[in-house]
Chain A
Amino acid sequence: MKPGNDLRARNHPAYWAFLVHRISGLALAVFLPLHFWALGHALAGAGRLEAFLRWTDQPLVKFAEWGMVVLLAAHFAGGLRILALEFLAWREWQKKLVAVAAAFSLAYALAYALALL
């Protein structure tokens, strides 16, 4: 492979936005089959689902759930930014879009954490 760039070239907001979007997407892609499988427990009746939900009451699991939901919020916000960039081509608004997406993700992370505690 040809010599590529290192962190010094990648250190700007739009690139961080890409990284967050891609990594959150990867994590969600891994998580989704598990999420569907867990909810499928409901097929075996409310009792089976309830037993599973009690397992998720552990603090570590709750923290992981919070993490997944925040990743979803980040992926969603970043995705809206991409849709805006590709369909609206607002050059002057680029950096503002990153900030808006980050702000939304942060706000949601806090809201969800508050709901949990």
Chain B
Amino acid sequence: MGANLQVRVWRGGADGAFQPFDVPRQASQTVLDVVTHIQRALEPALAYRFACRVGMCGSCAMTVNGVARWTCRTHVDKVAPDGRLEIAPLRNLPVIRDLVADMSEFFDKWAAARGSFAPTRTRRDEFARVAPDSAARRQVDAAIECIGCGVCYSSCDVVTWNPAYLGPAALNRAWTLVQDVRDGARAERLAAVAGDAGCHACHTHMSCTERCPKQLSPTAGIAGLKRAAAKAALRGEL
């Protein structure tokens, strides 16, 4: 194990190439530390995203040795025991430049899945009462912590194979709203998420569940959407 890491970083757009760098190895180093060092000391023109640096915002998500991760929460020792790192932008998204991916379609699909709350009360009404230990709310709580980082979307092969597929994050969010007793757009939302571009395209690869940095399981939420859509179809509501 040498004093330096051999790092290959994606440069350019869709037709770019990996550029090699030598980066000094340090204790408790994260992949984000490596990228930061390259940009500050070796290549000022390197484009990359980050914000909080402490595993809360999800902005630093990239493909590290072929796997989508939060670079600020990925220790070099864990993913590169032999000192070799390959850093690329998130998969399944157009590349803007270097390590920066275009997240537009990710959020467009979030909207297409009706991933936003539809209120039924006004400030003049009583507060809604939702029991936190009710079955529906527990399912929402298990899925609600998504911060839209794109790791699941990047990891999903169905997203690669089916351009119209809404993807795990959008569907997971739709699930939390379908299970939210206060929400008023259930029928429209189920119509938006059912079908070949929606929950029925999920083949339970579970790469999303495997990679989610917040340990969420979009697979479970999507299974819930399949059941909800089936019930609605059987009742003639879909």
When each residue 8-34 of chain A gets 1 if its CB lies under 8 Å from chain B and 0 otherwise, what string results?
A: 111010110010001000000000000
When distances are taken between beta carbons in the complex, the residues of chain A under 8 Å from B65 are 8
Q: Closest A-chain residue to B203, C-beta based? A: A18
Stretch at the interface among B30-38, B49-57, B111-119, B219-227: B219-227
Give the complex CA separation of A22 and B204 in angstroms.
12
A1 / chain B contacts, CB cutoff of 8 Å:
160
Whether B93 sits at the interface, judged by CB under 8 Å, is: yes
Known contacts A3-B14, A8-B66, A18-B203; is A85 also within 8 Å of B91 by CB? no
Q: How many A-B residue contacts, CB cutoff 8 Å? A: 74
Query: What chain B residues lie within 8 Å of A91 (beta carbons)?
Result: 209, 217, 220
Contact B210 A12, beta carbon cutoff 8 Å: yes
**Cβ-defined partner of B160 (8 Å) among A2, A14, A18:** A2
Among candidates A9, A22, A82, A85, residue contacting B67 with C-beta atoms closer than 8 Å:
A9
Establish whether residues A9 and B207, one from each chain, have CB atoms under 8 Å apart when the complex forms. yes
Which of B157, B219, B226 is the one whose CB lies under 8 Å from A4? B157
Beyond A5-B66, A18-B205, is A87–B91 a contact (Cβ under 8 Å)?
no
Contact A15 B220 (CB under 8 A): no
Would you give the shortest CB distance from A78 to chain B, in whole angstroms?
Answer: 10
Q: Specify which chain B residues have a CB less than 8 angstroms from the CB of A7 in the assembled complex.
A: 66
**B94 is an interface residue with CB less than 8 A from chain A:** yes
Tell me the smallest distance from the CB of A81 to a CB of chain B, in Å: 8
**Contact of B46 with A by CB under 8 A:** no
User: Do the beta carbons of A3 and B206 come within 8 Å of each other?
Assistant: no
Q: Is B92 an interface residue (CB 8 A)?
A: yes
Whether, in the assembled complex, A57 has its beta carbon less than 8 Å from a beta carbon of chain B, the answer is: no
Minimum C-beta distance from B161 to chain A (A): 8
> Across the interface, do B155 and A9 meet the contact criterion of CB distance under 8 Å?
yes
Check if A85 sits within 8 Å of B204, measured CB to CB.
Answer: yes
Contacts of B224 in A (CB 8 A): 89
User: Given A2-B91, A3-B14, A18-B204, is A8 in contact with B67 using a C-beta cutoff of 8 Å?
Assistant: yes
A94 touches B207 (CB 8 A): no
Per a CB cutoff under 8 Å, which of B68, B154, B204 touches A82?
B204
> Once the chains are docked, how many angstroms separate the CA of A85 from the CA of B207?
14
A86 touches B157 (CB 8 A): no
Using a CB–CB cutoff of 8 Å, the interface residues on chain A facing chain B are 1-10, 12, 14-15, 18, 22, 82, 85-87, 89, 91, 94
Q: Pull 14 A–B residue pairs with CB atoms less than 8 Å apart, ordered by A.
A: A4-B91, A4-B92, A5-B66, A5-B207, A7-B66, A9-B207, A12-B207, A14-B205, A22-B203, A87-B223, A91-B209, A91-B217, A91-B220, A94-B219
Could you tell me which B residues sit within 8 Å of A by CB distance?
14, 65-68, 88, 91-95, 154-155, 157, 160-161, 203-207, 209-211, 217, 219-220, 223-224, 226-227
